[in-house]
């Protein structure tokens, strides 16, 4: 769970994140500064009580939230039996933050962030290291954030394939348009080879 939160926190403008259960009990949290967590347990309890009230009154079930106050932003995503909360600066890149939040909420899954593996996916550690080698070879000094994305994958082949798509898009937009397609193709070939072996 902490690895998923660290991946979110690696985004520019994110100050911290936490996962809590339906009662507001903090299950995991990662922050850029310990000063930001001073009242976190109380904030989580109040947040969950407020969300339950909003859901009850609206009658529409869970609604994803994006709360803005002064220069800060809180993005909330539902996970099973709780929520993921991300604190960032107000002017964060919202498409990237939303995509990362949605992906993290999916990955936190029913067991709240433990590795989700299926039959045939139980030992992908060699494949993951090979994917990292492809990224490092193609991106050199720019590989850091992309390697973090791979590290944050849940360990299933399906999740690695999703990460491959996200890496291609992020690399195309922010690092090198020409290398993004070539690198993603190499990663896909590796993953397809693993699925047939």
pLDDT of residue 73: 93
Q: What is the rounded distance in angstroms from the CA atom of residue 197 to the CA atom of residue 193?
A: 6
pLDDT of residue 89: 94
- Sequence-distant (6+) residues with CB within 8 A of 107 are 4, 113, 116, 152, 153, 154, 159
pLDDT tens digit sequence for 46-98:
888 888 887 777 776 666 788 898 999 999 988 878 889 999 999 999 888 98
pLDDT tens digit sequence for 109-144:
654 433 333 324 445 667 777 888 888 888 777 777
Cβ–Cβ < 8 Å for 121, 156:
yes
Distances (CA, A) of 7 to 45, 53, 63, 146: 24, 31, 24, 10
- Sequence-distant (6+) residues with CB within 8 A of 157 are 120, 121, 124, 191, 194, 195
pLDDT tens digit sequence for 145-160:
777 777 776 567 777 7
Cβ–Cβ < 8 Å for 170, 146:
yes
| pTM of the model as a whole | 0.56
The share of the chain scoring above pLDDT 90, in percent, equals 12
Domain ranges of the chain: 2-108, 125-196
Q: What is the rounded distance in angstroms from the CA atom of residue 83 to the CA atom of residue 23?
A: 10
Reported CATH class of domain 2-108: alpha beta
Q: E strands, the chain, where? A: 14-21, 26-31, 65-69, 72-79, 82-89
Per-residue tokens: 69: 């106050």
- Sequence-distant (6+) residues with CB within 8 A of 74 are 65, 66, 67, 85, 86, 87, 88
């Amino acid at each position: 769970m902490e690895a998923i939160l660290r991946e979110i926190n690696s985004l520019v403008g994110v100050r911290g994140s936490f996962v809590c259960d339906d009662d507001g009990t903090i299950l995991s949290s990662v922050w850029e500064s310990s000063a930001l967590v001073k009242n976190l347990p109380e904030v989580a309890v109040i947040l969950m009580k407020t969300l339950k009230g909003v859901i009850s009154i609206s009658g529409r079930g869970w609604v994803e939230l994006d709360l803005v106050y002064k220069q800060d932003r809180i993005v909330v995503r539902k996970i099973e039996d709780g929520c993921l909360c991300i604190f960032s600066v107000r002017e964060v890149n919202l498409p990237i933050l939303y995509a990362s939040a949605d992906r993290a909420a999916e990955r936190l899954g029913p067991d709240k962030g433990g590795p989700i593996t299926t039959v045939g996916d139980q030992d992908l550690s060699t494949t993951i290291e090979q994917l990292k080698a492809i990224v490092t070879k193609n991106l050199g000094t720019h590989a850091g954030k992309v390697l973090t994305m791979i590290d944050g994958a849940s360990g299933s082949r399906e999740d690695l394939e999703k990460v491959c798509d996200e890496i291609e898009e992020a690399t195309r937009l922010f690092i090198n348009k020409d290398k993004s397609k070539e690198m993603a193709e190499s990663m896909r070939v590796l993953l397809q080879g693993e699925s047939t072996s």
